[in-house]
Amino acid sequence: MDSGYSEVSTLRRRSLRDFLKSKFPNVDPFALPKKAKIIGHVALVRFQGEGIDLGELGKAVAEFYPRVRTVLRLHGIAGRLREPVVELMYGDPNTETIHKEYGYKFMLDVSKLMLCLGNSYERLRTARSVRHGETVVDMFAGIGQFSIPCAVLSKPSKVYAIEINEEAYRYLRVNVAINKVEGVVEPLLGDCKELTPALGRIADRIIMGYFGGTIEALPAALGAVKPEGATIHFHEVVKRGTGKDELWNEISELCFRLGYTSTLLGSRIVKSYSATREHVVIEFKVKPTKGLS
């Protein structure tokens, strides 16, 4: 179990930890949370300290962030579906909330689903790269982290948003409605490894926003590429330094073996993931080398 969450610090001059230090003078400062991740009215905090009164600590966190009504302790992110493991520390037990960024909104239940704030610029950047009239396939759609910005900020003709987790799919549908992109974003419930090739050769752009084995879904992605080619946004967590180049070698070799040319368009570090690993995105163009059957 690990944390895919990036944390945000408040813009106040005083840090959360400094504030908490003054409230809990007898607690080791390093046992207190350094920052919080704020999603709508909910604050999520991570800390190592044991024996601290969770209710009192949660109340102090809520005092520091005036819009926060609920404080959750985040223990980590678990499993293939990357679900948060949380504990209510303080406040309103209703953890369903709305996060707003760059003109679109995401509704979610923070106790059940994750939203990485450290990816917000990548969501914007990806949406801006979508061209008028494109057909986009978002293979790991979540609650619409990429599909919604693409539909709200650009003018694709269609975004197929595939999600396997029923809870995420439910919020994906809600987010399509609250962002008024019905008819553009089509949510599909199921495994993208089956549903993507089943769409046929329709994709101008494919978003693979997942990590921990994204390469396993590449053959399925290639199955939806238009005969004239498509752009793929491929996310993965790799080791710092050489990891991105090694990943690109792996991707291009697999494309070659499956009968596709692959041309690197660009790559970037989305965010730091741990001391030794980083979340990267590689953007490349693929095209079938021979006629397609």
By CB under 6 A, residue 168 contacts ligand SAM: yes
Q: Which is nearer to ligand SAM, 191 or 253 (CB)?
A: 191
Pick between residue 16 and residue 270 the one whose CB is nearest to ligand SAM. Answer: 270
Stretch that binds ligand SAM, among 6-14, 54-62, 186-194, 253-261 (CB under 6 A): 186-194
107 contacts ligand SAM (rule: CB under 6 A): no
DSSP, res 92: -
Task: Output 193 or 201, the one with its CB closest to ligand SAM.
Answer: 193
Q: How far apart are CA 167 and CA 136, in angstroms?
A: 22
191 binds ligand SAM (CB under 6 A): yes
175 contributes a contact to ligand SAM by CB under 6 A: no
How far apart, in whole angstroms, are the C-alpha atoms of residue 133 and residue 112? 34
Q: Which of residues 137-166 bind ligand SAM (CB under 6 A)?
A: 140, 142, 145-146, 162-165
Which tokens is 58 given?
């949660």
Residue 90: CB minimum distance to ligand SAM, A: 27
- Which residue matches tokens 């080619």? 229
Quickly list H helices, 130-216: 147-153, 166-178, 192-198
Interface with ligand SAM includes 82 (CB under 6 A)?
A: yes
Binding of ligand SAM by 223 (CB under 6 A) = no
Would you say 57 or 206 has its CB closer to ligand SAM?
Answer: 206
Helices (H), 30-146: 54-64, 120-129
CA distances from 198 to 191, 192, 202 (A): 11, 9, 10
CB of 192 to ligand SAM, least distance (A): 4
3-state helix, strand and coil shares in percent for the chain, rounded to the nearest 5:
30, 35, 40
Cβ-Cβ contacts under 8 Å for 247 (sequence gap 6 or more): 234, 236, 238, 280, 282
Name the residue nearer to ligand SAM (CB basis): 114 or 230.
Answer: 114
Min dist CB 49 to ligand SAM, Å, is 28
Distance CA 87, CA 105 (A): 25
Q: Which helix (H) or strand (E) holds 242?
A: none
Task: Say whether residue 245 binds ligand SAM (CB under 6 A).
Answer: no
- Residue 243, SS3 per DSSP: helix
Nearer to ligand SAM, 24 or 140 (CB): 140
Q: How far is the CB of 25 from ligand SAM (least distance, A)?
A: 39
Choose, by CB under 6 A, the member of 210, 248, 260, 284 that binds ligand SAM.
Answer: 210
| Residues of this chain that bind ligand SAM (CB under 6 A) | 81-82, 116, 119, 140, 142, 145-146, 162-165, 168, 191-193, 209-210
